[in-house]
Structure 1
Amino acid sequence: MITDPLERLRDAARRTRELARGRAATGLGHEDADDDVGTIGTDGALGFDPFPLLEAVHRHGVRVVVIGQVAGILHGSAELTGDLDLLWDGAPGHAPALAAAFASVGARFADEAGTPLAPRPDSLLRPKVRFTSPQAGGDCCTPALPWGDLDVREIFERGAAAAGPGGLKVHYVTREDLNRMRRALGRPKDLRRAAELDATAPGRGRDQR
């Protein structure tokens, strides 16, 4: 059993790539994911590797918090995913460094309707931007994105951190906040994944499962 969060994510990404190896591309991106199956069933799983972008964000000195199922995996979820969702503070002064991190991995931006956006810092100031890169795609959000009655800025500030080789530091949403976000969305995959993390929470005895 892998206990280190980042090693757990590396293993999950490797298994995702193996699962999708040889699968024909369908043209479906992360935004087309089924509400039950998730992005493991889309082209996002082909070659999925979140680490080039996570390492780029770290190099450029931007505090970004991982949300979504990648955060779930960091907390111990066994379910695979094919996208990387991110939350940052939305401060205009931090946008140039974040844009540079995306540019360094060849990422492209689009708005929520799928219309391409210029790869400029101001494009990231929207509440949510879709991004794609050769290794990973997903959503990059700011606290301005409505999320039920949740205070997304507080969720950002509470993000935990895991350290890896070479000083890599990856911030990710707390287990409690991740499940609150999932239940606010209420999709089948969100509720299933929230229940999984609840059942495996630290300190939860086997007789409670």
Structure 2
Amino acid sequence: MIDEPLERLRAAARRTRELALHRASTGLGHQDADDDIGTIGTDGALGFDPFPLLEALHHHGVRAVVIGQVAGIMHGSTEPTGDLDLLWDGAPAHAPALAAALTSVDARLSDEAGDPLPTHPDSLLRPKVQFTSPAAGGDCCTPALPWGDLRPREFLDHAVTAVDPGGLEVHYVCREDLIRMRRAIGRPKDLRRAAELREL
């Protein structure tokens, strides 16, 4: 039997692809997402499938923690998404494996201004980079990103792991930490999703 959080994510990704199937490209990326609707309204929803990158991370031994709405879905949220956001420890020794995982899914990197970066370990040492790949895009963050009063290294320590019968391991932020993140960001979609998570 497939681990329930991963089955929820597979079903949600299928639903996202179905919702976007006949929609024309708008040119909007995940960074252009509406604060209420979220990335389901961007081109990130077209063909959205987080599993190629999640499998690549596992194959390359990268301990990146899923944050954002993909983590919300794994906890039971019913709202769809079109992006995959990640948090990793930012250690230089771990950057080559992360770069290899991203390269294996043909990901392209850019900085926060949208300017291209090489898919190289040094690029990943920035507090945050954006990535796009044929199946999924999103943010790849480190604890060096300004997080206000939040303690992202604790998010890494508290993360939970879902495992499927094939051995795929997906690390994702725990529910309480995700609620804290949602409330701290404070956009309409974040507050709505925090309330949903609290009720689950």
Fold agreement, TM-score > 0.5: yes
Aligned to 1:206: none
**Separation in structure 2 between the aligned mates of residue 3 and residue 199 of structure 1, nearest angstrom:** 22
Partner secondary structure for residue 166 of structure 2: helix
Alignment of 1:58-77 (within 5 A): 58-77=58-77
Q: 1:140-170 deviations in whole A, cap 9, x for unaligned?
A: 0001111120111111111100001310000
Structure 2: where are the runs of 5+ without partners? Answer: none
Aligned to 1:19: 19
Question: 1:154 is aligned with what amino acid?
Answer: E
Task: Compute the TM-score of the two structures, normalised by the length of structure 1.
Answer: 0.94
> Where does structure 1 differ by over 6 angstroms across 4 or more consecutive aligned residues?
none
**Separation in structure 1 between the aligned mates of residue 98 and residue 17 of structure 2, nearest angstrom:** 26
Alignment of 1:32-181 (within 5 A): 32-181=32-181
Aligned to 2:5: 5
Query: Sequence identity, in percent?
Result: 78
- Contact 2:3/2:163, CA 8 A, preserved across alignment: no
Structure 1: where are the runs of 5+ without partners? Answer: 201-209
Please say which structure displays the higher CA radius of gyration.
1
What is the number of residues matched between the two proteins? 199
**Separation in structure 1 between the aligned mates of residue 45 and residue 72 of structure 2, nearest angstrom:** 16
Task: Report the Cα offset of residue 3 of structure 1.
Answer: 7.5
**Separation in structure 1 between the aligned mates of residue 165 and residue 136 of structure 2, nearest angstrom:** 21
Q: 1:84-122 deviations in whole A, cap 9, x for unaligned?
A: 000000000000000000000000000000000011000
Q: 1:43-83 deviations in whole A, cap 9, x for unaligned?
A: 00000000000000000001010000000000000000000
